[in-house]
Structure 1
């Protein structure tokens, strides 16, 4: 079977590093090129056959969506962006999938599987192992945060504060979004604004959780039953 030829179009170095890292485990795909703006990518597409494009939306000069408008014979497109609000615009161009950064390997594989289905290929995808860490953008840098180091997470507007053993990190992500990336066997949401590591809980006292470092956090009424069930 011929490999699916793909390119990455994104103005952020971090996105190239993540996608390249993910692609090394998928033998059915071949990375043919990496481009940091839409103009260079278009020039390549006009001269070369490509099956799949991982395309960022917000780029200087020509945006990803503007690039799509110029293509009459489009390859498969997987949009990669930090902004959810462009999802409907993307599907207008019949994109295969829409990945919101930072995305995990499992989400990436699901998007590739959709490409395979459209091509009528039954491909054996690599197994997805239970992850033991987060990869988040902190101060503009992709940072690996082991679950074992996280004490608790606090909502901070459109950001989250991640309290770890040796300090605190801030990342642009909602509490609900980061909750989806955490292991449900290790973490629990106890309040609309707080997620805690279960191993860090010292005791539950009334309407508060007391952690091993003596930090006291509130318990939301809607989360109390599930919290108490952990200690039965």
Structure 2
């Protein structure tokens, strides 16, 4: 294989990063393109960048390794890493390549990598100008990781150090900023209309003056710069 496989490490323990990273240094067949200490950041990277292999810890705060696998419809190849051998059977339910128990020994690490190449199939890559976005947001709400489907979101509002995610039937509050959330959203579906608001484009009913009216009759402010971009978007789609 001419190009090395792109891999990432997802583990909340610094020691695991050091050990796996050290092993990878001697393998030209793999290239380390990211290290993450929680599943949410790792998922965001995977959705935006090509990744062939993930060294994934199971027990992590917030979203566990298993919950991360369950949330992804088409995950990369996975090698699970954990200190608890009792999770092995559950891991294979998700068709993981191998299961490494910490402390990870080099011979077992090499054997797991060999299994990767026996199962690796080049991925079909979409058009380079069209990055893949998930159809949901994973947000921490009241201490739990919650999946919110994008199709249910009307708009997102900045609220101090938090955001309010307004859906069809409820409001979710999460510790994040609108800037952080905006980077996770497809601009063909969501646009910032104000420093404090991001709106779902399919919910926009009317743009008038300095306001945007949604289908549910909610009225939101729109900044001058954002208003011009919003009008250009809708005018451009009318001409298609």
Tell whether 2:206 aligns with 1:157.
no
CA RMSD of aligned residues (A): 3.5
Q: Match for residue 210 of structure 2?
A: 207
* Other structure's SS at 1:210 match: strand
Choose the corresponding residue for 1:186, options 179, 186, 189. 189
Choose the corresponding residue for 1:220, options 212, 215, 223. 223
Tell whether 2:102 aligns with 1:44.
yes
Are the aligned partners of 1:151 and 1:200 in contact in 2 as well (CA < 8 Å)?
Answer: yes
Q: Which structure 2 residues correspond to residues 11-90 of structure 1 after superposition, within 5 A?
A: 11-12=60-61, 14-21=63-70, 25-27=75-77, 29-33=78-82, 44-45=102-103, 48-49=105-106
* Other structure's SS at 1:223 match: helix
Are the aligned partners of 1:7 and 1:34 in contact in 2 as well (CA < 8 Å)?
Answer: no
Once residues 220 and 174 of structure 2 are traced to their aligned partners in structure 1, the CA distance between those partners, rounded to angstroms, is 20
The 1:5/1:144 distance shift into structure 2, 3 A limit, reads closer
Once residues 178 and 31 of structure 1 are traced to their aligned partners in structure 2, the CA distance between those partners, rounded to angstroms, is 28
Are the aligned partners of 1:25 and 1:126 in contact in 2 as well (CA < 8 Å)?
Answer: no
* Other structure's SS at 1:144 match: strand
The 1:149/1:124 distance shift into structure 2, 3 A limit, reads same
Give the C-alpha shift of residue 192 in structure 1: 0.5
* Other structure's SS at 2:181 match: helix
The 1:23/1:205 distance shift into structure 2, 3 A limit, reads closer
Give the C-alpha shift of residue 186 in structure 1: 1.1
How many residue pairs end up in the alignment?
155
The 1:34/1:20 distance shift into structure 2, 3 A limit, reads farther
**TM superposition score normalised by structure 2:** 0.54
Tell whether 2:140 aligns with 1:140.
no
Give the C-alpha shift of residue 32 in structure 1: 3.7
The runs of 5 or more residues in structure 2 that have no matched partner are 2-28, 31-52, 85-100, 111-115, 127-131, 236-240
Are the aligned partners of 1:23 and 1:31 in contact in 2 as well (CA < 8 Å)?
Answer: no
Which segment drifts farther, 205-214 or 9-18? 9-18
The 1:18/1:127 distance shift into structure 2, 3 A limit, reads farther
The 1:227/1:162 distance shift into structure 2, 3 A limit, reads same
**TM superposition score normalised by structure 1:** 0.56
The 1:212/1:14 distance shift into structure 2, 3 A limit, reads same
The 1:213/1:125 distance shift into structure 2, 3 A limit, reads same
* Other structure's SS at 1:231 match: helix
Once residues 209 and 152 of structure 2 are traced to their aligned partners in structure 1, the CA distance between those partners, rounded to angstroms, is 27
